[in-house]
Every structure is written in C-alpha cells, then in structure tokens.
C-alpha cells in the first residue's frame, strides 16, 4: 500500500514537474517571440524611417495639384488674369470690347438682311416692264427688303423724266443708302483704337508703380517690381486681344458693305438698260 501511494506520489510529482517545466518553456517561448516581434517592429520602423526620406509624398501631391491647375476652364483663367491685371484698367478694356461687339453684331445682322438676290429682282422687274407695268415693277421693289430694291424703286419713280433723271436719282439715293450701310462703323473704329490705348495706359501706370516701389525700398529686386510689371503686361495683352477681335469683325463688315455696294451699282446699270430696252422712257 505504501509502495502504491509512493508510486502515485512520484507519478503526480513527475506530472506536475512536467507541466511546470512546460509552462516555463511556453513562457520562455512567448517572451522570445515577443522580443522577436518587438525587434521586427523596431527593424521595420527603422527601415520605414530610412525609406521615407528617399520617397517623399510631397512631389505626388504636387503632381496631383498640377493637373487640377491645368484642368481649369478658360473662363476661370481669364477671370484670374482679369483680377491680377487690376480691374480699374481691365474694366475699361472689357467695356470697349463689349460695346464694340454689340455694334459688330448689329451691323452683321442688318447687312445680312440687306443682302438681296439682285438677279431675281431684276428678272421680276423686267417681267413687269415688258408689259409696260411700271407700277407693278415699283411694287416689286417696295415689297423687297434691302438698299438695292430701294434705289431701283427711286429709279423707276423717275422713269417719266428720262434716263438722265433716273441715273441721277439712283446716284443720289445710293449715297443715302451707303451712309445707312456704314452706320456704326465709326464707333467700331473708335473702340478698336481705344482698347489698345487703354492697355498701354495701364502699362505706363504699372511701370510707374514699379519705379515708385523701387524708390521706396531702395533696392532693385524682382520681387519689388514684379507686381507692377505684371499689371502692365496683362493690361497690354487684353487691350491688344480686344482690338484684334474687333478688327476682324470690322474687316468682315467692310467687305460685306463693299459687296452690297457693288451689287447696287450693277443693278442700277442693269435697270437703266432694261428700261431702255422696253421703251419705258417717254420722249
């Protein structure tokens, strides 16, 4: 019995000793793993600390910011430059551009309405004059829009006074129609001349401001004069752009007027020939 109890005690002691040793080994392993983990984290942190200076994030942010600047609309860019160029001068240039464009659009619409198919008009007049219907030909001219129909109407109205009277009436009334066609061109020319002059005035004032800053600071550096020079250049650029735009419209309008005047002259000569061939002039 004693041997059995002693054996059980030895077995129990052996088991407990094994568990204790196993627990110690597990704790040792856990501590070793913890130390290894800490060493790995420290190593990783050190490596990250070493890698971060080599691959900074700021350039990526700058690269992301650059496309956002490039993606700005044209209106936003023009607005920015308009504000940078000092609105006191840029506003006058903008007013010149708006008013000039208003006159240009009005002239273009008027001239397009005034354009007449002279060949068709003369054919209809000839059809009436072949039957001696002068009043019918005059009604055709009255119902047709444009300066060409108006001068032909004046010529037909003086048919009883002979060809000389018809030609005189056409020339006199043609001068009136010419003045109506060119109405508003003087204002467009004015804005074409004023826009760059205002820009140059902003340039001169900007340079004066730059020299005032140099005098006040007593040092010639780019930072001192950059603001004044920027204002000067922006006002000049906007003034020249406004003048160029208005000049293009002005040349188009002048060419349109020249075409209408040429058609008027050809139609007036053809009218006299038609009236003579149909024996409209009374002796």
In this prediction, residue 86 carries a pLDDT of: 66
Is residue 61 one of the residues assigned to a domain?
no
Do both 177 and 279 map to the same domain? yes
- Cα–Cα–Cα angle for 251, 95, 72, nearest 5°? 95
Do both 157 and 18 map to the same domain? no
Do both 50 and 143 map to the same domain? no
Is residue 239 one of the residues assigned to a domain?
yes
Do both 132 and 7 map to the same domain? no
Please state, rounded to an integer, the average pLDDT across all residues of the chain: 74
Is residue 159 one of the residues assigned to a domain?
yes
pLDDT at 207 over 70: yes
Is residue 69 one of the residues assigned to a domain?
no
- Give the DSSP per-residue string, 242-264: HHHHHHHHHHHHHHHHHHHHHHH
Give per-residue pLDDT as tens, 138-186. 899 888 888 888 899 988 888 888 888 888 888 888 888 888 898 889 9
In this prediction, residue 133 carries a pLDDT of: 84
Cα separation, 172 vs 182, whole angstroms:
16
In this prediction, residue 102 carries a pLDDT of: 95
Is residue 73 one of the residues assigned to a domain?
no
Give per-residue pLDDT as tens, 250-280. 999 999 999 999 988 888 888 888 888 877 7
Cα separation, 209 vs 158, whole angstroms:
68
Counting every residue, how long is the chain?
283
Do both 278 and 157 map to the same domain? yes
Is residue 79 one of the residues assigned to a domain?
no
- Among 47-61, 62-76, 119-133, 202-216, the range scoring the smallest mean pLDDT is 47-61
Do both 29 and 164 map to the same domain? no
Boundaries of domain holding 15:
2-55
Do both 132 and 210 map to the same domain? yes
Do both 193 and 252 map to the same domain? yes
pLDDT at 6 over 80: no
First to last CA, the chain: 172
* Total of domains in the chain: 2
Cα separation, 256 vs 147, whole angstroms:
13
**Mean pLDDT in residue range 45-69:** 44
Do both 146 and 278 map to the same domain? yes
């Amino acid at each position: 019995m004693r041997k059995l109890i002693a054996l059980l005690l030895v077995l129990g002691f052996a088991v407990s000793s094994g568990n204790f040793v196993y627990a110690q080994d597990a704790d040792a392993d856990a501590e070793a793993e913890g130390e290894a983990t800490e060493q790995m984290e420290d190593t990783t942190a050190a490596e990250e600390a070493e890698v971060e200076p080599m691959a900074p994030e700021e350039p990526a942010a700058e690269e992301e910011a650059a496309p956002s600047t490039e993606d700005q609309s044209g209106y936003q860019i023009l607005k920015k430059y308009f504000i940078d160029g000092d609105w006191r001068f840029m506003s006058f240039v903008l007013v010149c551009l708006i008013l000039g464009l208003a006159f240009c659009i009005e002239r273009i619409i008027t001239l397009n309405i005034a354009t007449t198919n002279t060949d068709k008009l003369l054919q209809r007049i000839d059809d009436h004059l072949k039957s001696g219907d002068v009043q019918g030909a005059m009604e055709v001219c009255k119902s047709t829009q444009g300066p060409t129909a108006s001068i032909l109407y004046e010529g037909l109205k003086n048919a009883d006074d002979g060809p000389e009277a018809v030609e005189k009436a056409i020339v006199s009334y043609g001068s009136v129609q010419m003045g109506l066609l060119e109405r508003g061109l003087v204002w467009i020319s004015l804005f074409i001349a004023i826009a760059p002059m205002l820009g140059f005035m902003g340039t001169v004032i900007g340079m004066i401001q730059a020299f005032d800053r140099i005098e006040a600071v007593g040092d010639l550096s780019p930072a001192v004069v950059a603001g004044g020079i920027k204002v000067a250049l922006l006002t000049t650029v906007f003034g020249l752009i406004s003048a160029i735009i208005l000049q293009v419209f002005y040349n188009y309008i002048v060419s349109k007027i020249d075409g209408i005047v040429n058609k008027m002259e050809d139609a007036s000569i053809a009218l006299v020939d038609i009236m003579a061939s149909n024996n409209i002039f009374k002796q």
